[in-house]
Amino acid sequence: MLKVPSFTQPAVSSDPSEGAWSRTSKLWSSLKELCSLVGIAVEIDLEEVAFQHMQFKAGQRIFTIGQPFDMLYVVYSGFLKTVLIDEQGHEQVLAFPMKGDVLGIDGIHGKRYATEVVALTTCEVLILPFKTLTALGKSDYALEAAFHSVMCRELVREQNMVATLSALQAEARIARFLVQLSERFSALGYSASRFTLRMTRSDIGSYLGLTLETVSRTLSAMDAAGLIAVDIRTLVIKDLEALRTLRRLRPQRSGNEHASLRAQAASS
Amino acid sequence: MLKVPSFTQPAVSSDPSEGAWSRTSKLWSSLKELCSLVGIAVEIDLEEVAFQHMQFKAGQRIFTIGQPFDMLYVVYSGFLKTVLIDEQGHEQVLAFPMKGDVLGIDGIHGKRYATEVVALTTCEVLILPFKTLTALGKSDYALEAAFHSVMCRELVREQNMVATLSALQAEARIARFLVQLSERFSALGYSASRFTLRMTRSDIGSYLGLTLETVSRTLSAMDAAGLIAVDIRTLVIKDLEALRTLRRLRPQRSGNEHASLRAQAASS
DNA sequence: CGTTAGCTTGAATACCTTCAAAGTAGGTGG
DNA sequence: CCACCTACTTTGAAGGTATTCAAGCTAACG
C-alpha cells in the first residue's frame, strides 16, 4: 500500500529494515566502516582488522539473557527489539535498535548479557569481539574515548526514557515515541514522515508502559485528530510539530526548590 | 513516635548519610582506596596517584546540567539525588546515589553533563579527573576493564528502573524502592531494616513516576498493613519478604511469543 | 513565635486498564 | 488457489487506580 521509491536510498533495499535480504551481501567490515556506522570520528584505518557480518531472520535472537558475554554487535541493517525478561517471564521492551546502534553493552558488567535482542525483521549485524575492541582501545586513545562515548550515549537514552515514562501520560508518550522514530529514520536518510512500524502494539505498549489497547486507541485518536494517518503498520506523520509539542506534562509540583535556593545562597 | 536508637550503627555516625559532617576528615584517597570504594578488584597501587576529596552541604550541587564535563565523582559519604531538568523546568529524579556510586558518567558523551546531582545531606565526594582516568586505563588493562564495568552497571540499573516503571503499579514500585534502599544500606554495613529517608515524598514520587500524594498514601497503607512503620523520614521495615514478593505485576498479555517460537524452529 | 516546606488525608474526577468481542492480515496446508 | 489458522488489531463498556484539588497538620528555621 505504501511503496517507498528505492532511488532515494543509499542501501541495497528500499526499506530501512529490510537491508540485506535475499543476498549474502557484505561479509566483513573494516574498522573505518565500523566507526562511520556508529557515528564516531576516528580516522585510523588498520587494514589487518576486520569485523564479520552475520544475518538474522525475523524472530531470531542475537543473544539471550544469561548467555556469557564476549561480543558486542552493531546493527548494519534491519530493525530489532531489546527486551528484559523478569522473574515471572514477562517481557519488557527496552529499546528498538536500528542501523548504527550497538547491542550487548549491558553484558560488560557481570560478564553475561542482562537483556536479549530479537530481530523484528531480517537483520544484518557486525560482530565485535570485546577483546578485540579493548585491545584496539589500548593502542589508540581516540578509539577508546569514542568507545566510552558510545556506551554513555546508551545511558543518556535510557535516562531520557525514564523521564518519559515518569512524567508523561499516554498520549504524550506515544507522540514522543513517534517523533523519536521519525527523527531516527530521518537521520538514516529515510523519510521522516512515512515509515513502517515493525513492532506490534504490544511491543510499543511494553516499551512505553502502556497496554496494547491504549496504544491502539491513542493512535486511532491521533489519526482522527489529523496528526497522523495510521493503517496497521504503515504510519504517516501529518503534523510533526503538533506531535513534538504534545507533551502534556503533569503539573509535578516541584517539591523542594528551597534546597537549591539555600545552596545557591550558601555557595555565593 | 518512632525513635531510632543510634547504637546499632558500626560507623562514626549513627546514620549512613551523615558520614563526615563537622570535621575536615580525609583530603586525599589513593587509587587503591578508590577501587575498593566503587567495588572493583584492582590490586595495583600507584603511590603517585591520589584523588582529592570535596565536601558539599545539603542542597548544594556537585555539578549542573550543561556544565562542561571533565570530572567524574565517587560518593564517599552522604546521600544525593540525580535529576534531569526538562525544557519546561520540571525536575525528574533519576537516582539516589550513595557511598561508592559514581557521578557524572552521563557527561562523557557530549562533553557536557546531561544531569545534575544535588546533595540531600552533607556529602563528601572523591574527584576523578577524567583525563587521569583514561591515562591510567591505558597503562593498566584491568583498570580499564573495571572502568567499563562500572559504566555498564549504571546502564543495567537504569534498564531495571525502566522495567519497574513500566510494569509495576504504585504499591509494587514503592515496595521495590524500599527493598532497594534496604539492600543498599545493608551492603554498606548499616541496618537493612531501619533507616532514614533523606529525600522528600516529592522526590520519591518523581523517581517512581507517582505523585507525592500517592507515595504518602501508599506508605501509610503499608504501615497500616504492618509491612513497615513510617514516621515522616524514619522508616522501619517489618516484613521485608512481604515487600519483596509484593510485585503485583500487570498481566501484560505476552504479545508475540510466536516470533520466538518461529525463530527457534527456524534455527534448529 | 511566626513562617515555610513538607507530610497526611479526604473527596471527586480523569485516565488507563481490564474484559470482551469482532475484524483483519499473513502464512500454511489441503 | 482457497480456506483456515493464528497472531495482531480495533473498538466498546465497565471498573479500578492514581491524580487532582483542597484543607489541615507537623516540624524546622529564622
How do residues A215-265 score in pLDDT, each as one tens digit?
Answer: 999 999 999 999 999 999 999 999 999 999 987 544 444 444 443 333 333
How far A260 CA sits from the closest chain B CA (Å)? 5
pLDDT of residue A42: 75
Of chain B, the end-to-end C-alpha distance in Å amounts to 64
- The model's confidence at residue B20, banded by pLDDT at 50, 70 and 90, is very low
HEC secondary structure over B189-256: CCCCCEEECCCCHHHHHHHHCCCHHHHHHHHHHHHHCCCEEEECCEEEECCHHHHHHCCCCCCCCCCC
Q: Could you tell me the pTM of the whole model? A: 0.86
Closest CA to A86 of B160, B248, B251: B160
pLDDT of residue B25: 64
- The model's confidence at residue B22, banded by pLDDT at 50, 70 and 90, is very low
Distance separating alpha carbons of residues A47 and A195, to the nearest angstrom: 37
Distance separating alpha carbons of residues B56 and B125, to the nearest angstrom: 8
- The model's confidence at residue B88, banded by pLDDT at 50, 70 and 90, is confident
pLDDT of residue A173: 97
How do residues A24-46 score in pLDDT, each as one tens digit?
Answer: 567 999 999 999 999 988 777 77
- The model's confidence at residue A6, banded by pLDDT at 50, 70 and 90, is very low
Indicate if the pLDDT at residue B142 is higher than 90: no
Distance separating alpha carbons of residues B112 and B101, to the nearest angstrom: 19
Any B CB within 8 A of A248 CB: no
- The model's confidence at residue B248, banded by pLDDT at 50, 70 and 90, is low
Nearest nucleotide, CA A202 to C1': D8
The position carrying cell 531472520 is A57
pLDDT of residue B99: 97
Q: Which of A185-194, B39-48, B165-174 has the lowest mean pLDDT?
A: B39-48
With a CB-CB cutoff of 8 Å, which residues 141-180 of chain A face chain B? Answer: 141, 144-145, 148-156, 158-163, 165-167
Q: Do B203 and A114 touch (CB under 8 A)?
A: no
Distance separating alpha carbons of residues A169 and A16, to the nearest angstrom: 30
Distance separating alpha carbons of residues A37 and B171, to the nearest angstrom: 43
Looking at every residue in chain A, the average pLDDT score rounds to 85
Distance separating alpha carbons of residues A122 and A79, to the nearest angstrom: 8
Q: Do B159 and A252 touch (CB under 8 A)?
A: no
pLDDT of residue A10: 37
Q: Do residues A226 and A239 touch, judged by C-beta distance below 8 A?
A: yes
Q: Residues of A with CB below 8 A from B138's CB?
A: 138, 141, 144
Q: Do B155 and A155 touch (CB under 8 A)?
A: yes
Indicate if the pLDDT at residue B268 is higher than 60: no
Cell of A64: 539471550
Return the higher-pLDDT residue of A16 and A57: A57
Indicate if the pLDDT at residue B262 is higher than 70: no
Calculate mean pLDDT across residues B3-9.
36
Length A210 CA → C22 C1' (Å): 23
Looking at every residue in chain B, the average pLDDT score rounds to 85
Q: Do A155 and B110 touch (CB under 8 A)?
A: no
Indicate if the pLDDT at residue B234 is higher than 90: yes
Length A213 CA → D14 C1' (Å): 15
Distance separating alpha carbons of residues A188 and B51, to the nearest angstrom: 43
Distance separating alpha carbons of residues B59 and B68, to the nearest angstrom: 21
Distance separating alpha carbons of residues B67 and A83, to the nearest angstrom: 33
Return the higher-pLDDT residue of A134 and A207: A207
Cα dist from A225 to A194, A219, A241, A260, whole Å: 17, 10, 14, 41
